[in-house]
Amino acid sequence: MFNLIILENDESKVVEYNKFIDKLSYEDTEYNWSLFKISNINDVFQDYDMWIKELRTKNNIKIVEDTVLNTKGVYISGLNTEGMIDQLTNYKLSNSGCCYGVCDNASQIFDRYKNEIEDGKCIIIMTPIFKENQSVFGGWRWHKWGKYIGIQNHKNEYLADEEDIDMIYVYEIKELEDK
């Protein structure tokens, strides 16, 4: 159906990455670099389906349910992890532009960007933003992260001020090419 890339763990790349972290730890002893060590690629790019299952069991967070059943190639990751693609996989980022914005679930991305996803080799990276983690002074703001394609009715500038929204995702579609 969609042409999404499945990221596979490469133990040699994980070892090389951890050696890089060890080097940083040696050069900068003031910072605890060991927090950045990983055991496999899933420590950086977690499968969306697995993450949703965990979210349902561990938290009492209101989520907007997905309508698309196959979300392989969709990953939960932190913001600005695109450099890790080159370090941990056999892919590199394409020079092509990417799509980005804010949504409630992966299905909304598939619905909105069907043609873009079908046309190229890509992955979708989603970063969850939880209202409970927001500061009462400032915090995450809707207009800074691209167009909102979701269905929840946001009424305030800051996520922390929303009454009925517990979480959203910042997403990016990353086009990749073989190294």
Task: Judge whether 57 lies within some domain.
Answer: yes
Residue 105 lies in a domain: yes
Is 20 inside any structural domain?
no
Residue 76 lies in a domain: yes
- State how many domains the chain has: 1
Residue 13 covered by a domain = no
Question: What pLDDT score does 97 carry?
Answer: 66
Q: What is the structure's pLDDT at 59?
A: 67
Tell me which amino acid residue 150 is: G
Within-domain flag for 23: no
Structure tokens that stand for 114 in this block: 């069907």
Please count the other Cβ atoms lying within 10 Å of the Cβ belonging to residue 38. 15
124 C-beta neighbours (distance < 10 Å), count: 25
Q: Which domain holds residue 60?
A: 40-178
Residue 14 lies in a domain: no
Do strands 167-178 and 91-93 pair parallel, antiparallel, or not at all (unpaired)? antiparallel
User: How many secondary structure helices (H) and strands (E) does the chain include?
Assistant: 5, 6
d(CA 47, CA 164): 27
Query: pLDDT tens digits, the chain, 179 residues: what are they?
Result: 467 999 999 999 999 999 999 999 999 989 999 899 999 999 999 999 999 999 988 768 899 999 988 899 999 999 988 889 999 999 999 877 679 999 999 999 999 998 888 877 899 999 999 999 998 787 999 989 999 999 999 999 999 999 999 999 999 999 999 98
Does residue 27 belong to any structural domain of this protein?
Answer: no
